[in-house]
Structure 1
Amino acid sequence: MKLARNTLTSLFICLLLCSAAYGSQPGTEKELAIFKNFAIGWVVKLNKSHIKGFSRMEILLQKDGTYLARYHAISPDTISCKVKKTSNKSKGMVGLLRYIETIYESTGKTPQEARANKFKPVKKIRITEIFSNSGKGWR
C-alpha cells in the first residue's frame, strides 16, 4: 500500500512538473550549462553510491559452478539535458536529465577471476529524471 502511494505521489509530481513546463520557453544557454554541470555531478554521485555499482558488484555462483560478476554504471557521455522555464512567474525551472545505465557482466572459475576478467555490457536502461529549480538550486 505504501509503495503504491509513493508511486502515485511520484507520478503526480512528475505530471505536475511536466505540465508546468509544457509549452514554456526553453532555458538560456547559461541556465542549460549550469544544469549540465549539476547533472554531471549527479551522475558521478549515482555511480559512487549505486547499490549495484562497481565497488559493490554482485558475485553470483552459477549452476555450472562458475561465478558471475555484475555491476551497473552510467557513462557521462550518455547524458543529455534540457531546461525549460515553468509558467510560474517566479524563477521556476524544470530540468530533464536523460542517461543510459549499463549493466556489465564477467564470468570466471572463482569470484576473484570473475572480478578480474573483462566485463561486457549486457543490458542498457534508458532513464529520465526530472529536477526543479525555484531559485534555490537544482533539486
Structure 2
Amino acid sequence: MKPVRKLLSSFFICLLLCSAASASQPGTPDELAAFKNFAIGWVVKLNKSHIKGFSHMEIVLQKDGNYLARYHAISPDTISCKVKRTSAKSKGTVGLLKYIETIYESTGKTPQAARANKFKPVKNIRITEIFSNSGKGWR
C-alpha cells in the first residue's frame, strides 16, 4: 500500500508543478541558461550512476549459446530544456528536462566478445523530468 501512496503523492505534486508552470510566464534567458547547465550535469550523473549503464552492463546467456551485452545511455545531444516562472506568490521557477535514453546491445560467443563487439541502438525511451527552483537551486 505504501508504494501506491508514494506514487500518487508524486503524481499530485507533479500535477501541481505543471499547473503552476502552465499558468506562468517563460523564464528569463539567464534562468534557462542556469537550468541547461544543471541539466547537463544531471545527465552526466545519470550516465555515471545508471544501474543499467555502461559500467553496470548486463550480460545474458542466450538460448543459442551466445551472450548478449546490454546497457543504457543518455546522449547530451538529446537534451531539451524549458523554464517557466510559477504563478505562486513565492517566486520560483519550474524546469522541464526532456531527453532520450537509448538501449544498446551487442552479441558474442563469450561475455568478453559481447562487450568488445560493436553495440547497436535497439530502443529509445523518451523521458521528461520536472525540477523546481525556489531560490535554493534545482531540485
TM range (shorter): over 0.9
- Aligned residue for 2:118, secondary structure, equals coil
Cα deviation code 1:106-132 (max 9, x no counterpart): 000000000000000000000000000
Structure 1 residue ranges without an equivalent (≥5): none
Provide the residue aligned with 1:11 in structure 2. Answer: 11
What TM-score do you get using the length of structure 1 for normalisation? 0.98
Provide the residue aligned with 1:53 in structure 2. Answer: 53
| 1:10 Cα deviation from its structure 2 partner | 0.8
Cα deviation code 1:63-118 (max 9, x no counterpart): 00000000000000000000000002332100000000000000000000000000
Provide the residue aligned with 1:27 in structure 2. Answer: 27
Q: Is residue 31 of structure 2 the alignment partner of residue 43 of structure 1?
A: no
Provide the residue aligned with 2:113 in structure 1. Answer: 113
- Aligned residue for 2:26, secondary structure, equals coil
What TM-score do you get using the length of structure 2 for normalisation? 0.98
Counterparts of 2:63 and 2:3 in 1: how far apart (Å)? 33
Counterparts of 1:8 and 1:61 in 2: how far apart (Å)? 38
- Aligned residue for 2:14, secondary structure, equals helix
| 1:2 Cα deviation from its structure 2 partner | 1.8
| 1:23 Cα deviation from its structure 2 partner | 2.1
Over the matched positions of the two proteins, sequence identity in percent amounts to: 86
Aligned amino acid, residue 81 of structure 1: C
Provide the residue aligned with 1:83 in structure 2. Answer: 83
| 1:22 Cα deviation from its structure 2 partner | 1.4
Counterparts of 1:130 and 1:88 in 2: how far apart (Å)? 17
Provide the residue aligned with 2:69 in structure 1. Answer: 69
Aligned amino acid, residue 135 of structure 1: G
Q: Is residue 90 of structure 2 the alignment partner of residue 96 of structure 1?
A: no
Give the RMSD, CA atoms, in angstroms: 0.6
Segments of 4+ in structure 1 off by > 4 A?
none
Provide the residue aligned with 1:137 in structure 2. Answer: 137
Aligned amino acid, residue 105 of structure 1: E
- Aligned residue for 2:81, secondary structure, equals strand
Counterparts of 1:107 and 1:58 in 2: how far apart (Å)? 12
Aligned amino acid, residue 18 of structure 1: C
Q: Is residue 114 of structure 2 the alignment partner of residue 122 of structure 1?
A: no
